[in-house]
Amino acid sequence: MKTDLLIIGAGPAGLAAAFAASKSGLNIDIVDDNFQSGGQIWRGGAPQQSDVRARDMWLALSQAENVRFHFQSKLIQLERSEENLIATVEHNDQQRSSQIAARRLIIATGARELLLPFPGWTLPGITGAGGLQALAKNGYPVKGKKVVVAGTGPLLLAVAATLTERGAIVTHILEQASLASLSRFALGLLRTPTKLKQAFALGWKLKATRYLANSFVIAAEGKEQVATIRVSNNGDIQEFNCDLLACAYGLLPNLEIAAALGCAIENDDDMPRIKVDQWQQTNLNQVYCAGETTGIGGVDLAIAEGSIAGYAASDQRDLAIDAIKQRAIWQGFAERLKQGFALRSELRHLCQKDTIVCRCEDVRYAQLQDHADWRSAKLHTRCGMGACQGRICGNANRFLFSWERDLGRLPLHSCNIGHLIDTHIEKADSITSMNIASRNEQEI
């Protein structure tokens, strides 16, 4: 299959990129491993969102003859030929695979939650904050259950609001940032009135929930599932009872695909991200990144960056003026977000010796302490070598030990080996055909 533009990710950035590029008439293919559009921010499908931008973009793209969506499709291999980028994609839970040859590529793979281990964090009933929000949106029953939401960032408010709307009793929101940091961030919202309005709306929905600053979970206890959590609240240790604990410490960009292709990564503020120019282009020609892959900034920044990437990739740069202005505004918001919710050092010292760090391979904190780097830990303990390939524990160990995990190893996900074999057979056949044609031309 051939296309002019391949977009990886159908969240806000990917949809905005496709919407901008579609006006040029280019053939566009969009690959996403979810069963519908929207990504993590617009979970439940773009057409179901209250955000009018999501509905408008989906309506236009779903009716565009030059746009094709590939849902429940997972990118497993990405290679570069002389003229094209060759993507190998698995569809419908490894049932079949296909190859897409694209002249241009936009990577909009979003972010994942940063989960930090503490004693008891692997108990049933403990999830990431956004993870529980996604489960609830997809029908997981939370009605009547006592929930504590903990971690850091504005996402905690959005998660608590979603759970409350679905009948959960959110007793506490535990924010690790100090009250002084939160006050400075709140004051900065005056520069972005839409965010200020959102904050007031969420506050009204959560008026029955206690919001505790300078607070974080230090342990969870329970026989079969979480029952009691111990919390440091302004330095005092308190205990809360709950049925569910949703805990996450912000977001980190998904960099695997871009790193596998060879895109440059910058890390000048303790946040790894793909380096891009003013047009969202990476160091590789005709390869663009947009959204959280270039730094955490929220839905508005993702849409602005996606639009710029879409216009640039489709040779419509003169249409990107407004998006460039919007990007500057939301980059300022992203900077205030980073400063307001910087992680405190105490979170590095919550683990006990027997605390599991790598859940896939059951690797405990004591097993990791004697190692100097990520590679040594992997070789001796199998940390990061399980089903998630270090996507969870790798980020945690980066925070705990300052280890940089290896990125961009192929295949990008666990996959059907037959699909990889088919890929190499097709490549070998193509090379053989080219060599035969070349010899025939020489003989003639």
pLDDT given for residue 294 in this prediction: 96
pLDDT given for residue 416 in this prediction: 77
Per-residue pLDDT tens over the stretch 220-239: 999 888 889 999 999 999 99
- 295, 258 Cβ separation under 8 angstroms: no
Average pLDDT, the chain: 91
Say yes or no to pLDDT of 429 above 80.
no
Q: What percent of the chain has pLDDT over 90?
A: 78
Is the peptide bond prior to 154 cis by the omega test (within 30 degrees of 0)?
no
Report the Cα 280 to chain-centroid distance in Å. Answer: 18
Angle between helices 321-340 and 299-313 (to 10 degrees): 140
- Residue 293: C-alpha distances to residues 22, 63, 245, 265, 302 (Å): 22, 28, 28, 10, 9
- 311, 23 Cβ separation under 8 angstroms: no
| Token duo for residue 70 | 């590939």
Helix then strand count (H, E) for the chain reads 13, 21
Per-residue pLDDT tens over the stretch 176-207: 999 999 999 999 999 999 999 999 999 999 99
**What confidence tier does 432 reach under pLDDT thresholds 50, 70, 90?**
very low
Average the pLDDT over 295-310 and give the result.
Answer: 97
pLDDT given for residue 441 in this prediction: 53
Among 302, 297, 295, 292, which residue's Cα sits nearest to residue 333? 297
| Token duo for residue 7 | 């977009």
Say yes or no to pLDDT of 443 above 70.
no
- Count of CB atoms situated within 10 Å of the CB of 396: 21
- 265, 255 Cβ separation under 8 angstroms: yes
- 292, 111 Cβ separation under 8 angstroms: yes
Q: In 282-372, which residue ranges form alpha helices assigned H by DSSP?
A: 299-313, 321-340, 365-368
pTM beyond 0.85, yes or no:
yes
| Token duo for residue 210 | 């206690």
What pairs with residue 8 in β-bridges?
31, 107
Per-residue pLDDT tens over the stretch 94-143: 778 889 999 999 999 999 999 999 999 999 999 999 999 999 988 999 99
CA dihedral 255, 259, 263, 268 (to 10 degrees): 60
Is residue 246 helix, strand or coil? strand
Q: In 234-383, which residue ranges form alpha helices assigned H by DSSP?
A: 256-261, 299-313, 321-340, 365-368, 374-381
For the chain, the maximum distance between any two Cα atoms, rounded to a whole number of angstroms, is 87
Helix or strand run (H / E) with residue 274: strand 273-274
The CA distance from 320 to 151, in Å, is: 36
Per-residue pLDDT tens over the stretch 41-85: 898 899 999 999 999 999 999 999 999 999 999 998 888 887 889
**What confidence tier does 397 reach under pLDDT thresholds 50, 70, 90?**
very high
Matching residue, tokens 């179901």: 48
The CA distance from 36 to 45, in Å, is: 6
Buried b (16+ CB within 10 A) or exposed e, 236-257: eeeebebbbbbbbbbbbbbbbb
Residue 410, amino acid: L
Say yes or no to pLDDT of 31 above 60.
yes
- Residue 172: C-alpha distances to residues 137, 141, 153, 183 (Å): 20, 19, 15, 19
pLDDT given for residue 289 in this prediction: 98
pLDDT given for residue 267 in this prediction: 84
Say yes or no to pLDDT of 430 above 50.
no
Average the pLDDT over 275-290 and give the result.
Answer: 97
Helix or strand run (H / E) with residue 237: strand 236-241
Q: What percent of the chain has pLDDT over 70?
A: 94
pLDDT given for residue 425 in this prediction: 57
